Structure 1
Amino acid sequence: MKKQAFNPYLPSWEYIPDGEPYVFGDRVYIYGSHDFYNGYVFCMGDYVCWSAPVDDLGNWRYEGVIYPKTSDPLNRDGKMCLYAPDVTVGPDGRYYLYYVLDHVSIVSVAVCDTPAGTYEFYGYVHYEDGTRLGEKPGDEPQFDPGVLTEGEDTYLYTGFCARGDKSRTGAMVTVLGPDMLTIKKAPQRVAPGCEYSAGTGFEGHEFFEAPSIRKRDNTYYFIYSSIVMHELCYAVSDHPTGGFVYGGVIVSNCDLHIDSYKPADMPAAYGANNHGSMVQIGEDWYIFYHRHTNNTWYSRQGCAEKLTIREDGSIEQAEITSCGLNGGPLKGKGEYPAYLACNLFTDVPSVYVGKSNVPRVMQDGRDGDEEPGYIANFTESATAGFKYFLCEDIHEISIWVRGYGNGFFEVKTSWNGEVLAKLPVQNTNVWEKYTAPVSIPDGVQAIYLTYRGDGAPSLRSFELA
């Protein structure tokens, strides 16, 4: 029996951001960096891989560590972090993993015979004279490689462009030969950074980081994180090495610009940097991205949403949900963990994480402990939104709450809608269940829980019955 698919799509104790999804055979594989729960910097772990059957996207399997960070000859002591990787299949049918360590500006490559086996260090991307890409005079520092192989050519996209840094001009593409290492065509710019965007059409959504490339029919989609960081944007071209035209925003991890259920300029979650890409699974296309937990930049989790691609190839911005890979709304019955919240905010919304006294997804224990996630720090007006559920004959709602707080949770089907029920809660050191009658209209609905009162209790889960 197929499992329901949620956001985040991996277990709540796993932190795999920067996800590059690929379908190999009858499974979809996710390659990303590896954050730690409560980590103090980005990407502290080894590369691991997860996969799921293409026809059962709620049933993810841990494939294990595919590449320890000490495998690179420059990092035998493990002092550097493995930043966001990408994978491509070479002309020889093997799988090539491209990555950059956090304290160097060159591109490393590892190789494996299978999608999720143990990758072995292979070499560094270099010019014909042996000079490594990123070390030749005039090269821009290498960062966040994205790769696409067609025939014997591999297109390598890299770059990072911060505001105010005129030494970095934009995202670059470098063409590699069939050995997957040797440069066949020197880097050239495909998308501008904010210091060089005037008159390009990218203004306001200039390239920042996270270059990724996909091909759909005869169109190349360049996916990237824009200068505002919370967006994944795209540009299109009929050639992989140039001519890219800005297309729009694919997803924002704070849902900015979406106006279907809120004002377009209202952030509905705490965002920050974003990284991911598109993949076709069956007949549908999805965007994979990440969210931020624990009110920090350094504990990110993968999410995904189904895309609407118009007849002309343009992409409609995806709304962030709790049911992205499910193929439709979740069942409107049963218990659901609070960490599935796709909306999280207070009466003073914020685009970015890091504000004090705000609700946050977290867990007990340390990184690696398989402890379920929950939402902590429900202060006055804190709201968690869960979307969407196919409701029928809902007459009761229960919540599990712990912590110090005297007040009540309001139940609504929209963030500013009518209060359908109130669940009084009180101080408790353990998870306590509270139940109230409720009448939720039949059909596809969102569930919003807003806290009113003193203190800052935590929410573990809710149940519809």
Structure 2
Amino acid sequence: MITARPLPPTGARLTRAAAWVMGLLLAFAVLPAVVQPTVARADNPIVQHVYTADPAPLVYNGRVYLYTGHDEDGSTYFTMKDWRVWSSADMVNWTDHGSPLSLATFSWASKDAWAGQAVQRNGRFYWYVPVTNRATGRMAIGVAVADSPTGPFRDALGHPLVENGEFDPTVFIDDDGQAYLYWGNPNLWYVRLNADMISYSGSPTRIPLTTSGFGTRTGDANRPTLFEEGPWVYKRNGLYYLVFAAKCCSEFIAYSTAPGPTGPWTYRGTIMPTQGGSFTNHPGLVDFKGNSYFFYHNGALTGGGGYTRSVAVEKFSYNADGTIPTINMTNTGVPAADTLNPYVRQEAETIAWGSGIETEPATEGGMNVGWIDNGDYVKVKGVAFGRGASSFAARVASGSSGGTVELRLGSPSGTVVGRCAVPNTGGWQAWTTVTCPVTGATGTQDLYLRFTGGSGYLLNVNWWQFTPAS
């Protein structure tokens, strides 16, 4: 039985030709002229099948969880209805966990699912997000809570945590256990959160925006400092950092430091200059597996721009005095912080680079890769085959005539080490497991799952796993 496949969800769907063009554009427009990597090396932006924005990384239990906004396809404004979650154990292969939080989560919110941040405390996860309050028409900060970093999240209060018409919350928990919520545009505010993380003590306090603390802006008498929006606060070696989007428009990323969580702040300069095809930017910094990483967004994907943004990441090292070096956008991404084990179950939506695919919730749980046409592929980076694999298994479904999963090494046209045929299974969520022999997959390789077949959508993939050679 062949069943019709519904239209794909909104996303930044890349055709093979578009991915090639994007790689060329990035090589010339984003990178210095002397650096021209091939498309196969391009791993920024880190998500290619939907537009993402406003990254907020969180390290938990050996993984980086990345909380992002979601720009709608073809948007001509900040039309944002939900938030997304991704995670990685190696900084190059990112698992799509879908959308566990949306405007619908907050019964009192009407629009504007803008930049938020999630933190973990006492085994629970608190996600602070700005939305427009339906009753007042003003921006307010809501808080959602979950027992897992991937949700589902629920409204912790049923009303705003704080509301003064400003937005872009960031949360910081100091070494003494005191938590702080910061937010603001055009001002910069903070409150001290209580231990329950859903209430606060005292009243919101406005941080003085002085030129010594936040740099000097020229040409705008109403905003004498560089601070614009998107604050990100953290502590390192006893020094407090406040990283922010500076001087609209277009924005760059700057930072200030202080001896305490509420100041006094001293302006330290530019981290990421204006670049990247989006007139906004948003920082998120984290340390993971011994390295430091800087997350940001740009307009690098096909169709990308100021309202259709994509998250990317760069690895960096602090200077000896604790200052942050200048970081430029690249399309090469970061080196792998670890290898991927192919001999345990791997979700198909764990991807370093995807061409032509989409994701959707799977009836068996989690997400699956779908809307696959002939020639589409998924890249998985740094797969540690070791002495070799003997077979491959995949959980698949098809409401059409099916297709073939080609296992290639090194590139979409690289050496074929296995082919798995996928039949019609009776529906796009009618799952079955197919297996096929594997020959020649040894060492640590970039694996490409390349999909081939006839016209139209071919198949869905939920997960895959190799068996080691005996």
**Same fold by TM-score, threshold 0.5 exceeded?**
yes
Does residue 242 of the first structure (1) align with residue 263 of the second (2)? yes
Does residue 89 of the first structure (1) align with residue 120 of the second (2)? yes
**Which amino acid counterpart does residue 71 of structure 2 have in structure 1?**
D
Where does residue 355 of structure 1 map in the other structure? Answer: none
The DSSP-based 3-state class of the residue aligned with 1:70 is: helix
Q: 1:246 to 1:155 in 2, by over 3 A?
A: same
Q: 1:177 to 1:186 in 2, by over 3 A?
A: same
Where does residue 309 of structure 1 map in the other structure? Answer: 318
**Which amino acid counterpart does residue 149 of structure 1 have in structure 2?**
I
**Which amino acid counterpart does residue 145 of structure 1 have in structure 2?**
P
- For the residues of structure 2 that align with 1:141 and 1:270, how far apart are their CA atoms? 28
Quote the sequence identity (%): 26
The DSSP-based 3-state class of the residue aligned with 2:242 is: strand
Where does residue 155 of structure 2 map in the other structure? Answer: 121
- For the residues of structure 1 that align with 2:315 and 2:258, how far apart are their CA atoms? 22
**Which amino acid counterpart does residue 9 of structure 1 have in structure 2?**
I
- For the residues of structure 2 that align with 1:147 and 1:171, how far apart are their CA atoms? 13
The DSSP-based 3-state class of the residue aligned with 2:104 is: helix
- For the residues of structure 1 that align with 2:243 and 2:359, how far apart are their CA atoms? 30
1:167-246 aligned at under 5 Å gives the runs 170-190=187-207, 192=209, 197-198=210-211, 200=213, 202-204=215-217, 206-228=226-248, 229-246=250-267
Where does residue 422 of structure 1 map in the other structure? Answer: none
After TM superposition, give the deviation of residue 149 of structure 1 in Å.
2.0
Please give the per-residue CA displacement for 1:312-333, whole angstroms capped at 9, x wherever unaligned.
10011112111232269xxxxx
Where does residue 335 of structure 2 map in the other structure? Answer: 326
After TM superposition, give the deviation of residue 89 of structure 1 in Å.
1.7
Where does residue 108 of structure 2 map in the other structure? Answer: 74
After TM superposition, give the deviation of residue 295 of structure 1 in Å.
5.5
Q: Does structure 2 retain, via aligned residues, the 8 Å contact 1:5–1:325?
A: no
1:368-447 aligned at under 5 Å gives the runs none
- For the residues of structure 1 that align with 2:358 and 2:73, how far apart are their CA atoms? 7
After TM superposition, give the deviation of residue 253 of structure 1 in Å.
4.9
**Which amino acid counterpart does residue 178 of structure 2 have in structure 1?**
D
1:55-66 aligned at under 5 Å gives the runs 56-66=90-100
- For the residues of structure 1 that align with 2:139 and 2:198, how far apart are their CA atoms? 15
- For the residues of structure 1 that align with 2:278 and 2:98, how far apart are their CA atoms? 29
1:325-344 aligned at under 5 Å gives the runs 325-326=334-335
Does residue 7 of the first structure (1) align with residue 44 of the second (2)? yes
Q: 1:86 to 1:152 in 2, by over 3 A?
A: same
- For the residues of structure 1 that align with 2:212 and 2:156, how far apart are their CA atoms? 41
- For the residues of structure 2 that align with 1:312 and 1:185, how far apart are their CA atoms? 35
**Which amino acid counterpart does residue 214 of structure 1 have in structure 2?**
Y
**Which amino acid counterpart does residue 306 of structure 1 have in structure 2?**
K
Q: Does structure 1 retain, via aligned residues, the 8 Å contact 2:214–2:256?
A: no
Please give the per-residue CA displacement for 1:92-144, whole angstroms capped at 9, x wherever unaligned.
33110101114533211110111112011102787xxxxx633xxxxx42301
The DSSP-based 3-state class of the residue aligned with 2:150 is: coil
Where does residue 300 of structure 1 map in the other structure? Answer: 309
Q: 1:118 to 1:253 in 2, by over 3 A?
A: farther
1:102-113 aligned at under 5 Å gives the runs 102=132, 103-113=137-147
Give the structure, 1 or 2, with the largest relative contact order (CA under 8 Å, sep 6 or more). 2
User: How many residues are paired up?
Assistant: 299
After TM superposition, give the deviation of residue 366 of structure 1 in Å.
11
Does residue 42 of the first structure (1) align with residue 78 of the second (2)? yes
> Out of 268, 274, 285, which is 1:278 matched to?
285
> Out of 140, 150, 162, which is 1:133 matched to?
162
The DSSP-based 3-state class of the residue aligned with 2:99 is: strand
The DSSP-based 3-state class of the residue aligned with 2:140 is: coil
**Which amino acid counterpart does residue 67 of structure 2 have in structure 1?**
Y
Q: Does structure 2 retain, via aligned residues, the 8 Å contact 1:21–1:28?
A: yes
After TM superposition, give the deviation of residue 160 of structure 1 in Å.
0.5
- For the residues of structure 1 that align with 2:284 and 2:169, how far apart are their CA atoms? 12
Q: Does structure 2 retain, via aligned residues, the 8 Å contact 1:27–1:51?
A: yes
After TM superposition, give the deviation of residue 44 of structure 1 in Å.
2.1
Structure 1 gap segments, 5+ residues each: 127-131, 135-139, 162-169, 255-268, 329-339, 341-362, 373-465
After TM superposition, give the deviation of residue 40 of structure 1 in Å.
3.0
- For the residues of structure 2 that align with 1:253 and 1:46, how far apart are their CA atoms? 27
Q: 1:121 to 1:7 in 2, by over 3 A?
A: same
- For the residues of structure 2 that align with 1:101 and 1:201, how far apart are their CA atoms? 26
**Which amino acid counterpart does residue 288 of structure 1 have in structure 2?**
F
- For the residues of structure 1 that align with 2:317 and 2:167, how far apart are their CA atoms? 30
Structure 2 gap segments, 5+ residues each: 1-39, 218-224, 338-351, 361-369, 374-470
**Which amino acid counterpart does residue 86 of structure 2 have in structure 1?**
W
Q: Does structure 2 retain, via aligned residues, the 8 Å contact 1:33–1:43?
A: no
Please give the per-residue CA displacement for 1:350-382, whole angstroms capped at 9, x wherever unaligned.
xxxxxxxxxxxxx9999999699xxxxxxxxxx
Q: Does structure 2 retain, via aligned residues, the 8 Å contact 1:6–1:326?
A: no
1:438-457 aligned at under 5 Å gives the runs none
**Which amino acid counterpart does residue 322 of structure 1 have in structure 2?**
N
**Which amino acid counterpart does residue 261 of structure 2 have in structure 1?**
P
The DSSP-based 3-state class of the residue aligned with 2:188 is: strand
Q: Does structure 2 retain, via aligned residues, the 8 Å contact 1:71–1:120?
A: yes
Q: Does structure 2 retain, via aligned residues, the 8 Å contact 1:5–1:59?
A: no
> Out of 151, 154, 176, which is 2:179 matched to?
154
Q: 1:201 to 1:33 in 2, by over 3 A?
A: closer
Q: Does structure 1 retain, via aligned residues, the 8 Å contact 2:213–2:265?
A: no
Q: Does structure 1 retain, via aligned residues, the 8 Å contact 2:213–2:264?
A: no
Q: Does structure 2 retain, via aligned residues, the 8 Å contact 1:86–1:98?
A: yes
